[in-house]
Structure 1
Amino acid sequence: MEFLSCFPGWSPMACSQLTATSASRVQESESEAKVDGETASDSESRAESAPLPVSADDTPEVLNRALSNLSSRWKNWWVRGILTLAMIAFFFIIIYLGPMVLMIIVMCVQIKCFHEIITIGYNVYHSYDLPWFRTLSWYFLLCVNYFFYGETVTDYFFTLVQREEPLRILSKYHRFISFTLYLIGFCMFVLSLVKKHYRLQFYMFGWTHVTLLIVVTQSHLVIHNLFEGMIWFIVPISCVICNDIMAYMFGFFFGRTPLIKLSPKKTWEGFIGGFFATVVFGLLLSYVMSGYRCFVCPVEYNNDTNSFTVDCEPSDLFRLQEYNIPGVIQSVIGWVCATHRGKRSGCTPSRFTASPSPPLPRSLAPLEDSLQVDSNEPLKSKTLPIPFLAMEASWIALTASI
């Protein structure tokens, strides 16, 4: 330990007093550091030993009393099941109310998602007192919604827009107005820049625009799918709902292997079971819905009745089709097609046609002559009237599971 040295010419008494003073100060600093170290270690130990906050039980009291005799595992099962049925019933009611109610609900969900994401950025950087951050964020949301919903109204309510003079003017200059509103917001952002926080403000500016791209654009496409036919709205959402339910059920009964550390209760068994169940559900649901015009026809606004109508001739996408099987696949799978009286009756794997069979009775000999393999015509196979949307069921199942 080093102490202050005495300057030449100092008396021995002054030198000894200086040495004693420096020594006492060093001892005091060491004792304070020791106390501070003990305090820090004590606080760390207390933080580690402190119990984690337990989430509040939001289960209705009626269900708690009715399921009080069950274990926590089966109680959770019944609570989830009852609430799932209630939400599915609410989903059916919303669909029954029509496209306008669905469009309003999509817009409400969009605003809530935007609020959640913007709040994350604000909570992280609110200590910097960035001017107009939240104001500009909501202003840009208003501008983007004005642009997208204006395009939707112009496309699907064209007769109504042309009938009303104010709407006709807004429709004519819609894109110019949208661009002007965005330029006003950009100028407000430039005026709000603070010299010490340029980088941070541009970061939050990008945060807002990425949020708009993800949330608003996605909701706009959902609304477009809604007006192109209810099947394009119902099937994807139903596949997500089915995947969530079936993944929980397979995980509840068969789950043994953890899937990811982020969610310890998710299992590989639930992931795989939910995936295949969603694929089957998507195929069946799209097959059933494709037979009803109210689901496959675009939603159109009737100017005479001031209401939405769903009536059209279903496109070929929702009808039985015949597809040519490429020769490469034909050679790989070895399928052959039989014809009866010049008409194709179906395709059969070659392993069944090549297997020996007992001779037919004499009464059925003409039928045996009429059944033959025609190798000159292209190989075809009839398919079920399943729309192209059902082909996406596997992708929806995979993404929803993750």
Structure 2
Amino acid sequence: MRPMVRYHRCISFCLYLVGFIWFVLSLKKKYYMRQFSLFAWTHVTLIIIVTQSYLLIQNMFEGLIWFIAPVSMIVCNDVMAYIFGFFFGKTPLIQLSPKKTWEGFIGGGISTVIFGAFISQVLCQYKMFVCPIDLEEPGAFQCEPSPLFQPTDYELPSALATVCRLFHLKTAVTIYPFVLHSLSFSLFSSIIGPFGGFFASGFKRAFKIKDFGDIIPGHGGIMDRFDCQILMASFVSVYYHSFIRAPNQQKILQQIYLMKPEVQLQIFNSLRDFLQERGHLPMILTPD
């Protein structure tokens, strides 16, 4: 199984080349336009579905919390938007989905922000959700949580702190830093996420179909439930790699262990000189 994991990119590319060559050999006169149209549609589908699914799986390997929290936020927004729209909905939101209302959109958004902060606070307390998944390590869910998943004290804004002092309340709150990042996910799932559903609605209307499938009674197919999840997975991946991701010490060490001894020694000397120049290492370690 490990060779499959290690060389999966090469294996996938080779399989793609097999399909590409097979396609070229299957070209027939008078059917060129039809065949290349299907070829283009296949690649568009792969870009929209497979690429997003890859990002979704990649998020899971950074820690299950990067998968569970965003997915649950989308589900919460979908459910609460329906409830608020059912009981209070009066103002139509968009023509593509006549049943969507502004009341449901706003109510679902507020509920998602509250739920997102709550579920993030709960998940951060368990290592099995915050530890990165490494198939080559036996203890996948045993790690030292990063500062992102450790309780941190935050001072309240001055105006709010003044009010708290009047009532003899604490002027600082202790929360996990991830909870603050979860606000970005909640806002995205509430404001931008629904447009994934609107896109799917427009696509189905273009082909005059009600649902993508019928595997789930009353709800359609898998894609009918995951139309917003695809967009959310892309955002989480971009957000993580842009603002959060830091070098993995364990992976860096593993790469150094695989190098030749002379290269390892060169890295050691460079690192030693670097630390000595900044006063983090005694000069006594310098060789004569």
TM-score range (shorter-chain normalised) is 0.5 to 0.7
> Does the alignment pair 1:311 with 2:104?
no
Query: What amino acid is aligned across from residue 223 of structure 1 in structure 2?
Result: I
Aligned partners of 1:322, 1:295: CA distance in 2, in Å?
22
Aligned with 1:261 (options 70, 74, 95): 95
Could you tell me which residue of structure 1 aligns to residue 54 of structure 2?
A: 220
Q: Secondary structure at the match of 1:203?
A: helix
Letter in 2 for 1:385: Y
Could you tell me how far 1:302 is from its partner in structure 2?
7.2
Alignment-derived partner of residue 23 in structure 2 = 189
- Inter-CA distance 181–348: structure 2 relative to 1 (3 Å threshold): closer
Q: Deviations over 1:73-100 (max 9, x none)?
A: xxxxxxxxxxxxxxxxxxxxxxxxxxxx
CA distance 1:398–1:346, change in 2 (3 Å)? closer
Whether the aligned pair in 1 keeps the contact of 2:133 and 2:140 (CA below 8 Å) is yes
Hey, what does 1:203 align to over in structure 2? Answer: 37
What letter is aligned with 2:66? W
- Decide which structure has the larger Cα Rg and report it: 1
Structure 1 residues without counterparts, runs of 5 or longer: 1-159, 162-166, 324-344, 358-380
Aligned length: 187
* Partner residue in 2 for 1:238: 72
Letter of the 1:274 counterpart: G
Q: Contact (CA 8 Å) 2:152, 2:177: kept in 1 or not?
A: no
Distance, in Å, in 1 between the alignment partners of 2:42 and 2:136 is 38
State the distance in 2 between where 1:194 and 1:235 align.
49
Matching residue's letter, 1:230: L
Distance in 2 (CA, whole Å) between partners of 1:220 and 1:198 is 31
| TM-score, with length taken from structure 2 | 0.56
What is the match of residue 204 of structure 2?
none
Distance 1:177 1:294, change over 3 A: closer
1:393 aligns with 2:186: yes
What are the superposed Cα offsets for residues 51-108 of structure 1, whole Å, 9 maximum, x if unpaired?
A: xxxxxxxxxxxxxxxxxxxxxxxxxxxxxxxxxxxxxxxxxxxxxxxxxxxxxxxxxx
Is contact 1:286-1:390 (8 Å) kept? no
Which amino acid letter does the alignment assign opposite residue 314 of structure 1?
P
Classify the secondary structure of the residue corresponding to 1:259: strand
Structure 2 unmatched runs, 5+: 167-171, 196-288
Q: Following TM superposition, by how much is the alpha carbon of 1:194 offset from its aligned partner in structure 2, in angstroms?
A: 2.7
* 1:217-264 Cα deviation digits (max 9, x unpaired): 222222222222111111111011101110011111111112223322
RMSD over aligned CA atoms reads 3.2
Say if 1:254 and 1:269, in contact at 8 Å, map to a contact too: yes
Deviation per CA, 1:31-60: give whole Å up to 9, x if none.
xxxxxxxxxxxxxxxxxxxxxxxxxxxxxx
Match in the other structure for 1:282: 116
Q: Deviations over 1:268-290 (max 9, x none)?
A: 10011111111121112111211
Task: Say whether the 8 Å CA contact 2:128–2:141 is kept in structure 1.
Answer: yes
**TM-score computed with the length of structure 1 as normaliser:** 0.41
Give the 3 Å change call, closer, same or farther, for CA 391–384 of structure 1 in structure 2: farther
The CA distance in 2 between the partners of 1:309 and 1:393, in whole Å, is 28
Structure 2 CA distance for aligned equivalents of residues 270 and 394 of structure 1: 15
Counterpart CA distance in 2 for 1:273 and 1:301 is 41
Task: Give yes or no for contact 1:297–1:310 (8 Å, CA) kept in 2.
Answer: yes
Cα distance, 1:171 vs structure 2: 6.5
Matching of residues 31-70 of structure 1 within 5 Å:
none
Task: Give the equivalent residue in structure 2 for 1:133.
Answer: none
| 1:266 alignment partner, SS class | strand
Which residue matches 1:130?
none
Distance, in Å, in 2 between the alignment partners of 1:178 and 1:275 is: 39
Residues 300-320 of structure 1: CA distance to partner in whole angstroms, max 9, x if unpaired? 44776xxx6411111111224
The letter of the residue matching 1:316 is: P
Per the alignment, do residues 272 and 195 of structure 1 end up closer, same or farther by CA in structure 2, a change over 3 Å counting? same
